[in-house]
Structure formats: C-alpha cells, structure tokens
Amino acid sequence: MSTITDIGTLISRNPEIHGGCPIIAGTGVTVRRIAIWYKQGLRAEEIADRIGHLTLTQVYAALTYYHANRDEIDADIAAEAAEGDRIEALISAHRQIQKQPIDIALEIPTRADCPSRQEFMKLPLEERRNILAKQAEAMLQHYQEDKEWQELEAGDLIDC
C-alpha cells in the first residue's frame, strides 16, 4: 500500500536555514540550488543522483516550486550571483593592494586562465573536475613538502 504525501509539506522555510530561502523540507537543500542545476541542463534524476539523500519526489517538488515562483527564485539566483561577484571584486582588489609574491609555483590553471566564477561554471563538468583535481594535487604536494605545515600538523610548536 502506498503512502499519500501532501505535496505542500515538501518545501519549507526556516529563518535559521539559508536566511529563510525555500528549502526541501527536512534538508538544507535550497530550491535555488535545484533550480540552478535544472537551468544548467540537468534532469531531475541527475539532480537526485548528485544529492543522494534526496528522493526524486523531493527534486520534483523543488522544481514545481521553482516553476510556480520563478520570479522569486530567479531573483534569489541573481542576488547570489551578484554577491559572489562583489566578493570576487573585493578579493581581486585586496590582491592588487597586497601584490606579495607567492613563494610556491603551482602548475595549475590560475585565475588568469579562468578569471570569473561564471566562466568556470560554463566549462564542461569533466573539465571543471580536472581543474579542481589538479589544484587539489598541487595543494597536497605543497603541504606534504612544507616544513612549517608539517610542524603545525605534528603539534611541535611551542608558544613562548
């Protein structure tokens, strides 16, 4: 015997979670996140696979909410993107002020190769994974070779 689900219970808002944005009830997954992936061309099944703890029913509920409230969610997506751009601009300005040479040479794509989050997100998923994997490898190698980091990890530092 199947259980009947009141679809009105599948999406909720909680001011303490993501500032009150609509979320899939019982999770921290925003409707905005589901809508972004949907707009990037992912199917509901693919989204449910990416977030393993969500059911297909929950993903479809989020998509239904998105389609019923498209203006609200699209405005939320735009606001999030604008905030990301603002933070990137602050970081870039801070780096311009600092202009300190970095003592490690990472043989990986840099911000000059992919200057914005939007451009990075437009890359094919496999290419993004490769870039992130190379960055993770370079970071791991750096930390394995960095004596100061090894001392921190070993707890050998003594505060005087």
Residue 56 confidence (pLDDT): 95
Separation between Cα atoms, residue 37 and residue 121, nearest integer Å: 11
Tokens of residue 52, six digits: 């393993």
Residue 156 confidence (pLDDT): 46
Q: What are the C-alpha distances in Å from 16 to residues 6, 13, 19, 22, 23? A: 24, 9, 6, 12, 11
Q: Count Cα atoms within 13 angstroms, Cβ side, for 129.
A: 3
Residue 112, classed as helix, strand or coil, is coil
Contact 61, 10 (CB under 8 A): yes
User: At 134, which amino acid appears?
Assistant: K
Q: How confident is the chain (160 residues) per 10-residue block, as mean pLDDT?
A: 82 89 93 95 95 94 96 92 87 70 53 64 81 82 71 50
Relative orientation angle of helices 70-98 and 31-39, to the nearest 10 degrees: 90
Extended strands (E) in the chain: 11-12, 23-24
Residue 155 confidence (pLDDT): 52
Task: Go through the domains of the chain in sequence order and give each one's CATH number.
Answer: 1-100 (1.10.10.10), 101-160 (no CATH)
User: What's the predicted TM-score (pTM) here?
Assistant: 0.57
